[in-house]
Structure 1
C-alpha cells in the first residue's frame, strides 16, 4: 500500500541535543528528523490501514476528540510538544496523535475491524546485585519501524508551571520512534530515573482517558519513587491502555528496582489500575508483554504467546550476574518464531528487534546495540544525565 522502502538494518543512531520550550523542543525534533517521520507515516500499516479509516468515521472522530481533550486538560504542554513535532516535520498533527492513541481507537470501536494482531513487544531484564545493577531491554516493533528511531536529549525550561503536576523544568534522554514523543521506550532523566516499557494489549481500553504514551512522557519529569507512582496512578483520569514499566532511581537509598503493571481500571474509573512489584538488592526480574499479576483479559493472543516463549527462554538461563549474561539473554535467537532476538532474515518478517539497550547503574552509562548484543559490541555508550 505504500511507496516507502524498508532499508536493511542501518548501523546509525542519530542523536539530537535540544533546549527550549515544549513546542520548541518538539519543533526541533520534527525539523531534524522530518524526512524519517514522513517516511514512517507512509510505511505504518496500522496508521494507514486501521487508524486513519476509523478516524474518518463519526464515532472514531468522537473517540479521538474526547481523548485529545482529556490529554489537553492534564498535559497541555505535551500536546504543544507534539504540535511542534508536526510543524517541524510538516506533517498533519492528527496522524501523530493517532499513533499515540495506538489501539485505543480500534478497541473502542468493537464493531470495526482492528489492525491485524502481531507478536510485537519488548523484553526487559533487571539485575539488582551489589556488583551488577543493570536494566537491559529489547525494542521489538513492526518491521517498518526499523531504522526509524533516534535519541533525543532535551532540556525544557518553562516560564510557568505546566500541566497537572506543575512542572517547570525537564532534562532527559529518550530513544524515540519517529514522530513519537519521548518516554515510551528506554529513557532516563537528570534525577536519576531510568526505565523501560513493555507494551501490554488489554482487552478493555477506555477513550477519554490518558494514553500510556502520555503517562510515560510525564514519567520523564519525576524526581523520586513516590512521584513516579503518582504519575502512573494518574488520579482524576486514569490510563486508557496498558503497559509495564521497569524503573529505578540512581541514588535511591533502598537500591530498589520496580516493575509496575499499569492498566485501565474497571472499578475505580478515574485512576489507573497498578500492580507494583519490588525487585530488591540481590534479585533479578524479567518481564515481556503480558500481565503477570493483573487479572485482566488481553487482546493480542500472538503477543501473549510470544511473551510466554521469551519468558521460558529467560528462565532456562542461570540467573544473570553480569552484563555479558544479559547481552547473551537479550540476543538469544532460540525459541522459533517467538524468540527474544527477532531477526530471521525473511523478507516477510513482520516483527523485528530494532535495538537493544543496557543501563549500567554502577557505571552510570547507557549502551545501545543496533544489532544482536550477544554477537556485537555496543554501537554507542553514553553517560547517564545524573546531577
Structure 2
C-alpha cells in the first residue's frame, strides 16, 4: 500500500547526507529512500496511466531513446546518478526516467495529459533593508504528499564531467521521490539559492534536455554567468519550460535576485530565456504562468490558478520582511485557487514551504501552513570557503 494512503500529512522530511561519485550518490539515495520511491512509483497516476502507455508506443519509445541518447552525450554523469537511484531503490530505470521526461513523451505521440495536472508553485523574493528573503511553496499532485526528502550531497569526480566539465558539486536539495535533485528548492556551496516554478508550454521537444536535468545541472553553477550558460544549454536546449528564482549569496555588491523564464528550444539549439533582475527595494513574485515571454500555454487550470494567486499577492501591501512572505504564502482566501493548498481530496496540495534567509544564511522548511506552524527544520546554508 502506498505510504501516503490513509496516513494524512506527515510532519516529517527525512534527510540524507552522502558523498561519492554520481552513481554512488544516486545509489545511496535509492537505497536509503527505497520504500518512499517504490511507493511513489506505484501510486503515481501520471506515470502508470499516461507515461508508461506512451512509452509502449513507437512514437513514445523513439522520443524516450532520442532524449536519453542526448543526455548520455551532454550529461552522462546525471544519467549515471539516476541509474544509481534506480539500482538502489530496485525500481526499473525507465520508470524513473519517464518521470523526468514528464509530458514530453505525451506530446511526442500527439496526445495531451488526460489526468488533472499540477498547478503550483508560488515564489516571493523580498529585497529590502535588512530583509533578503526567498520564499517558496512546493505544490504538487496529491500523489507526492509524503513522497519527498532532502539530499545533501558532495560529489567529487576524478575527471571533468559532462558538457560543462564539472569535477565537484556540493549541494542540498528538496527532492521528489525518485527524482534528481534540483527541481524544487535548493542551494549549493557556491552560494546559489534557487526555487523552481513549473511552466506549461504547448510545444515540447523530445531529444532536447528535460527541465529536470537542466535544473540538476544548475546545482553546479558557480556564479550567475555559469547559471545562464547552463539554462541556455547551447547546442541542445530545453525540451520543456520552467521559471527559476535565484540569488548568489557570495556575490559582491548589493543583493540582487533574478527570475528566469525558460521556454523550450523550438527551432534552435538553445533554450529561450527571459531574465528579470531586481535590486534593493524591489521584489519578485512568480507563479506558474509566463509573465514576460509570449509562449503558448496549455494547462488552463495552471494558468487560471497562477492569475488568482498573483491577484491574492497583489491584495497585500508590497512585502517588506519575512513575516509578510509567510503570511502571503499561507493565504487560503481564494477557496478555488488558494496559495496554500490543503483542502482534503484536492488533486494538488502544498507539500512544503521553504523560507531562505539570505542574511542569516538559513533555510526554514515547513511541512504545513507556515502561518500556523513552526518550521519543521531550519538548516544552515553552508558555503565553500
TM-score (ref. length: structure 2): 0.97
Q: Secondary structure at the match of 2:336?
A: helix
**In structure 2, distance between residues paired with 1:13 and 1:376:** 15
Distance 1:148 1:215, change over 3 A: same
**Which is worse superposed, 321-330 or 191-200?**
321-330
**In structure 1, distance between residues paired with 2:182 and 2:190:** 15
Q: What is the aligned partner in structure 2 of residue 375 from structure 1?
A: 372
**In structure 1, distance between residues paired with 2:266 and 2:29:** 36
Q: What is the aligned partner in structure 1 of residue 139 from structure 2?
A: 140
CA contact (8 A) 2:260 2:275 kept: yes
Aligned alpha-carbon RMSD (Å):
1.3
Deviation digits for residues 243-279 of structure 1 (CA, Å, limit 9, x no counterpart): 0000010021242110000011334x10000000011
CA contact (8 A) 1:236 1:270 kept: yes
CA contact (8 A) 1:173 1:187 kept: yes
Distance 1:371 1:4, change over 3 A: closer
Deviation digits for residues 66-105 of structure 1 (CA, Å, limit 9, x no counterpart): 0000111110000000000000000100000000001101
CA contact (8 A) 2:3 2:39 kept: no
Work out whether 1:266 is the aligned partner of 2:263: no
Q: Aligned match of 2:363 in 355, 363, 366?
A: 366
Work out whether 1:90 is the aligned partner of 2:56: no
Q: What is the aligned partner in structure 2 of residue 303 from structure 1?
A: 302
**In structure 1, distance between residues paired with 2:233 and 2:376:** 36
- Using the TM superposition, give the Cα deviation of residue 320 of structure 1 relative to its aligned residue in structure 2, in angstroms: 1.0
Q: What is the aligned partner in structure 1 of residue 51 from structure 2?
A: 51
**In structure 2, distance between residues paired with 1:10 and 1:4:** 9
CA contact (8 A) 1:119 1:306 kept: no
- Using the TM superposition, give the Cα deviation of residue 108 of structure 1 relative to its aligned residue in structure 2, in angstroms: 2.2
CA contact (8 A) 1:261 1:276 kept: yes
**In structure 2, distance between residues paired with 1:155 and 1:263:** 30
- Using the TM superposition, give the Cα deviation of residue 5 of structure 1 relative to its aligned residue in structure 2, in angstroms: 2.3
Q: Where do 5+ consecutive residues of structure 2 fail to align?
A: none
**In structure 1, distance between residues paired with 2:80 and 2:16:** 19
Distance 1:84 1:36, change over 3 A: same
Distance 1:341 1:4, change over 3 A: closer
**In structure 2, distance between residues paired with 1:136 and 1:284:** 11
Q: What is the aligned partner in structure 2 of residue 329 from structure 1?
A: 328
Distance 1:3 1:132, change over 3 A: closer
Q: What is the aligned partner in structure 2 of residue 215 from structure 1?
A: 214
**In structure 2, distance between residues paired with 1:143 and 1:87:** 26
- Using the TM superposition, give the Cα deviation of residue 173 of structure 1 relative to its aligned residue in structure 2, in angstroms: 0.1
**Which is worse superposed, 161-170 or 258-267?**
258-267
**In the TM superposition, what are the counterparts of 1:109-188 in structure 2 within 5 Å?**
109-110=109-110, 112=111, 114-188=113-187
Q: What is the aligned partner in structure 2 of residue 39 from structure 1?
A: 39
CA contact (8 A) 1:4 1:42 kept: no
- Using the TM superposition, give the Cα deviation of residue 193 of structure 1 relative to its aligned residue in structure 2, in angstroms: 0.2
Q: Where do 5+ consecutive residues of structure 1 fail to align?
A: none
Runs of 4+ with deviation above 6 angstroms: 1-4
- Using the TM superposition, give the Cα deviation of residue 327 of structure 1 relative to its aligned residue in structure 2, in angstroms: 0.6
Work out whether 1:384 is the aligned partner of 2:381: yes
Q: What is the aligned partner in structure 2 of residue 340 from structure 1?
A: 339
CA contact (8 A) 1:117 1:300 kept: no
- Using the TM superposition, give the Cα deviation of residue 42 of structure 1 relative to its aligned residue in structure 2, in angstroms: 0.7
